[in-house]
A and B are shown apart, each in its own frame.
Chain A
Amino acid sequence: MEQGPFLAYVDPWINWDWLSTHISLVLGALGEHIELTAIALGAGLLIAVPLGVAAHRSAGLRLAALGFFGAFYTIPSLALFALLIPFTHLGGTTAEIPLIGYNVSILVRNVLVGLDAVPRDVLDAADGMGYRPLPRLLRVELPLALPSIFAGLRVATVSTIGIVTITALIGLGGLGSLIDKGLVENFHTPLVVAMILSVALALTADLLVVMAQRVAVPWARPV
C-alpha cells in the first residue's frame, strides 16, 4: 500500500526472518489443512460409492441423486458455510458438510460413469461363471469402474484442497488462515507461503492418488 516517505519500507514477497520464527504456525496450518481435506475425501468416498452403486440400479434414484448433487455443487461454498452456521455453529461440522457434499457430487457421477461402461459381455461372462450379484459387483463391476472413480478422486482431491482455504473465513485453521492473516495485516509472507504450500499440497496429493491408482488398477494407466 502507499507509504509515506518516512516509512519507505518495501514488504518483500517472502520475509525469511518471519518464516523462520513462525515455522510452527505454518506447519500447524498445513496439518489442519490436510486433516480437513482427508475427512472431506474419506467421507465423500464412503457416501458416494454405495450411493453410486444404488443409483446404477435404480433410474429414479439416479435422477434424484444427480439432480440434488448437481444443484448442491452449484452453490458457492461460502454461501453454504454461512447458511449452516446458525444450525451447526462455527467449526468443523459447518466446514465439512459442504466439502463432503461437493466430493459426493463429483464421485457419484464418476462411479455411475464407471459402472455404466462395464461391457455387457463381461457381465454375461461373470453370470455364466456363476457369480452371484454381490461378488459380481465387488469383484467384476467395481474393479472395472475404478479408473473412472480414481479420475473423480483426483478432481475431488485437488478441488477440496483449494476450497478448504475458504473455511478460514468461518474461523477454522488451515492454510486459508495464513491467507487471511496476509490480508488483514497487509503482509505478503503468510499469503505467499500459504499459496505455495496449497499448490504443493494439491500436486503431492494428486501424485499420491495417481500412485494409488497404479497399485489398484495396474491394467489402466492414468492420463
Chain B
Amino acid sequence: MDFLLLVGRWLVDPAHWQGSDGIPTRLVEHIHLSVESVVIGALIALPVGVTLGHYGRFGALAINISNAGRAIPSFGILVIAFQVFGLGDLPIVLALTALAVPPMVTNSYVALREVDPDIRDAARGMGYRELAQVLRVELPLAVPLIMAGIRTSAVQVVATATLAALIAGGGLGRYIVDGLATQDYVKTAAGALLVAVLALATELSLAWVQRLLVPRGIRLLNAPVAARATAFKVA
C-alpha cells in the first residue's frame, strides 16, 4: 500500500503538472499523435472498406488485412520507421497509421456486406441512385460496425503511441520508459496509470460518439456488434 501512496503523491505533485515533461504536455503530445494517426488512417481505410463492401469485391483481402496487421509486431514497426526516417513525429505517425488501417478496413467491409440485400433492393426500387443508396441507406445501417472499427483502431493507436517514447517520441509513454530506464518504478506506475485511463477514456468516449451517430431506428440491432467486430490488439 505504501507504493500506491507514492504513486498517488507523484500524480498530485505540482512539479509534475508543468513544463515540457509535465503531465499536460505529455497528454497533449499523446493525444496529438493518436488523433493525427487515426484520422489519416480513417481517410485511407474507410473509403477502401466501404467501396469493397458495397461491391462485395476482394473480401479475402479486406478480412485478411486484419490478420496480417495482428501478426506484425507494433514495436518492430516503430523501430523500423525510426531507422528509416530518423527522429521526429513522422516515423511515429506513419507507424501508427499503418496499425490503424487494418481493423477499419475489415470492419467497414463487413459492415457494408451485412446490409440486408432486401433493403438494398428496396432502396433501388424507390429510385435511389448508387451513390445516394450508399450514403443514405447503406452507411447509416453500417454505422455501428464501422464505429466499432474506428474504436478498435483508436484504442490500439493510443496503446502503441506509448511505445513511441522508445524511439525518442513524446507522449505519456515517456514516464513508463524513463522510469524503467532509471528503475524509478513509482514514475513508471504513475505513467502506466495515466496511459490506462487514457485508453479507457478513448474507448468510452468513442462508444458515446457511436451512440450519437447510430440512427435511433436501428439501435436494436446494436447488441451483437461486439461479437461481429474484429478483435485487434497489437500493443
Contact = CB atoms under 8 A, between A and B. Distances in A.
Interface string A37-76: 0000000000000000000000000000010001101111
B35 to A, nearest CB: 17
Interface stretch (B12-20, B72-80, B117-125): B72-80
A85 B71 CA distance: 27
A132 B162 CA distance: 51
B173 interface: yes
A158 B67 contact: yes
Interface string B152-193: 000100111011001100000100110110000100110111
Interface residues of A, number: 49
A89 to B, nearest CB: 10
Give the interface residue-count category, chain B: 35 or more
A47 B224 CA distance: 24
A86 B189 contact: yes
Interface in B179-235: 179-180, 185, 188-189, 191-193, 195-196, 199-200, 203, 226-227, 231-235
A66 B231 CA distance: 14
A53 B70 CA distance: 27
Given A85-B188, A159-B233, A186-B83, A165 B193 contact: no
Contacts, number: 140
A179 B79 contact: yes
B3 A195 contact: no
A213 interface: no
B200 A191 contact: no
B118 to A, nearest CB: 23
A191 B166 CA distance: 14
A209 to B, nearest CB: 12
A150 interface: no
A202 B185 contact: no
Interface string A190-212: 01001100110011001000000
B109 interface: no
A118 interface: no
A82 B188 CA distance: 6
A78 B176 contact: yes
Contacts of A182: 79, 83
A162 B227 CA distance: 22
A166 B74 CA distance: 9
A179 B76 contact: yes
Contacts of A206: 67, 71
Given A75-B199, A163-B233, A86 B76 contact: no
A150 to B, nearest CB: 14
A166 B179 contact: no
A217 interface: no
Interface in B83-102: 83, 86
A140 interface: no
B67 A82 contact: no
Contacts of B76: 165, 179, 191, 194-195, 198
Of A71, A73, A82, the most chain B CB neighbours within 10 A belong to A82
Contact of A79 (B63, B73, B185, B196): B196
Interface string A78-101: 111111011000000000000000
A215 interface: no
A52 B3 CA distance: 35
B70 A183 contact: no
Contacts of A169: 75, 166, 177, 180
23 contacts: A74-B203, A75-B159, A75-B196, A75-B199, A77-B159, A78-B192, A79-B176, A79-B192, A79-B195, A80-B196, A82-B179, A109-B231, A113-B227, A152-B231, A158-B67, A161-B71, A166-B73, A169-B177, A183-B166, A191-B83, A194-B73, A198-B71, A198-B76
Interface of B: 3, 63, 67, 70-76, 79-80, 82-83, 86, 155, 158-160, 162-163, 166-167, 173, 176-177, 179-180, 185, 188-189, 191-193, 195-196, 199-200, 203, 226-227, 231-235
